[in-house]
Amino acid sequence: MSASAEELIGHSYTRARRHPLVIGKLPGAGRLPGGPYTITQVMTMVISFGLLVMTRDLWAHFGAMNFILMALIPWGLAWVLRYARLDGRDPARAVRSLLIYSSTPAQGRLAGKPQRVARPRLATATCTVRVRSAERPAPVPAAAKPSPVPAPVARRKARPAPVPAAAAAGRAEPKTGLQALLASLDEQ
């Protein structure tokens, strides 16, 4: 099989190798019930438990059931987060990505610094109009005067081409472009 006709096959194992950091056992206490837990689940349990303790005066009117609610609500939220996926990621990573995306500059970054696009400015120009008087003739523009063209530099000496005798007799010194133009006008 030739190199151009060879079929290329690629494999990606990143999904299989992506294991989240989990907390499954406590030293000396053994395995956690309902675990292992990801860092997102542990943070959810801690934050929701803290919020329940701080707002205890608002909801805690059930007697002994208050302690069961303070244990079940954080654990239930963590259990729901185990199966919740946004774009293949756990919700904490998805929210982090959203915050990073919303905080980046619209034009991007260049060498770690926000790229700034210059504000558009109005174009300004000036135009000068001069009226020629009939008494003075118009000056000849500098662009109309021909400038001499430098001859190309030969790198090595070349043999001169044979010149017919008739042309050699009438040949004089080389003419510039303007002299050649005037000579052709005189011949006509």
Is the pTM higher than 0.75? The answer reads no
Residue type, 75: W
Q: What is the pLDDT of residue 53?
A: 93
Backbone phi, psi, residue 37, to 5°: -115, 140
Alpha-carbon span 97 to 91, nearest angstrom: 10
Q: What is the pLDDT of residue 52?
A: 94
Q: What's CA 178's distance to the chain center, in Å?
A: 55
Q: Is 183 helix (H, G, I), strand (E, B) or coil?
A: helix
Say whether the peptide bond before residue 36 is cis (omega within 30 degrees of 0): yes
Q: DSSP alpha helices (H): ranges in 24-175? A: 39-54, 56-59, 65-83, 91-103, 165-169
Q: What is the DSSP letter of 38?
A: E
CA distances from 134 to 131, 137, 138 (A): 10, 7, 9
Alpha-carbon span 139 to 132, nearest angstrom: 10
Q: What is the pLDDT of residue 70?
A: 92
Structure tokens at 134: 């009939």
Q: What is the pLDDT of residue 47?
A: 95
Going residue by residue through the chain (188 aa), what tens digit of pLDDT does each one get?
Answer: 555 667 888 877 666 556 667 777 777 777 777 778 888 888 999 999 999 999 999 988 888 899 999 999 999 999 988 888 877 777 888 888 889 888 888 888 888 888 877 778 888 888 888 877 666 666 666 655 666 676 666 566 666 666 565 555 555 555 677 777 777 777 76
CA distances from 137 to 128, 130, 131, 134, 145 (A): 19, 14, 12, 7, 17
What length does the chain have? 188
Q: What is the pLDDT of residue 122?
A: 84
